[in-house]
Amino acid sequence: MDSFRLKCSNCKANLDLNLDNMIAYCPFCGEKIIVDVQSLTKLLTESQVTERREVSERAKTERTKIIAEERKEQERIRAEKELEKERIKHKTLNSSDKASIISEIVYFVMIIICLVFLLLLGAYFDSGKDESDKNDAELQAVYEQVLEDIDNCNYTEARIKANTLYYTAGYSNKLEKKWNKIRKETLELIDEKEGLKKKNFISKTFDFVFGGD
């Protein structure tokens, strides 16, 4: 059963008119309303236009609402993406900062280790140099005693002392070669001096026994 809306001619209230009943009464003011064919055609046209306008308005409103919701959703998604980007950025920066800090710590630790190593190495060489100088001085003193014993013809004592002329500090190859050479030459000198002494002794003994000049 079709119906359409019209306004009361008396109180201007909105009324819904049934097409099966061409006569109606306004429920607000009691005005009698009679609709003829011409008025009905006009009312139907106006009603259709109004209905279409209302449908259009509702569709527009709904479309506006949908667009607004879509924009809101897009803004939410965009905000989430930006937040995620910031989170990733901060995470990357934090990781980079941590890596940088670790690298700096390792760098400083390596520097400290190198410095300590150099200090220990310097101390070792200083200690070795002192020990070498001491060993060299001791050998020099013994060598002078050996020369004194040779001058006094005390070859046995000189040989014993000469055999102790070993450089044992291990700091300088040059000093080691030096004292090896001195020891060898000193022992050869002792052998030479001792041989001459024996030769002279034999010669003197021979002269004494056989009455040499």
Question: Is 185 within 8 Å of 157 (Cβ atoms)?
Answer: no
Q: Where are the domains of the chain?
A: 3-69, 131-210
More confident of the two residues 60 and 49: 60
Give the C-alpha separation, 199 to 206, whole Å: 10
Query: Residue 1 has what pLDDT?
Result: 45
The amino acid that residue 69 corresponds to is: E
The whole-angstrom separation of Cα 126 and Cα 171 is 10
Identify the three-state secondary structure at position 165.
coil
> Is the whole-model pTM more than 0.95?
no
User: CA-to-CA distance for 34 and 21, rounded, in angstroms?
Assistant: 9
Residue 48 scores a pLDDT above 90: no
> What would the mean pLDDT of 91-119 be, rounded to a whole number?
77
- Number of neighbours of residue 192 by Cβ within 10 angstroms: 11
pLDDT category at 95 given cuts 50, 70, 90 is low
- 135 is written with which tokens? 């060993």
- The label of the residue with tokens 């937040």 reads 83
Lowest mean pLDDT among 4-8, 12-16, 19-23: 19-23
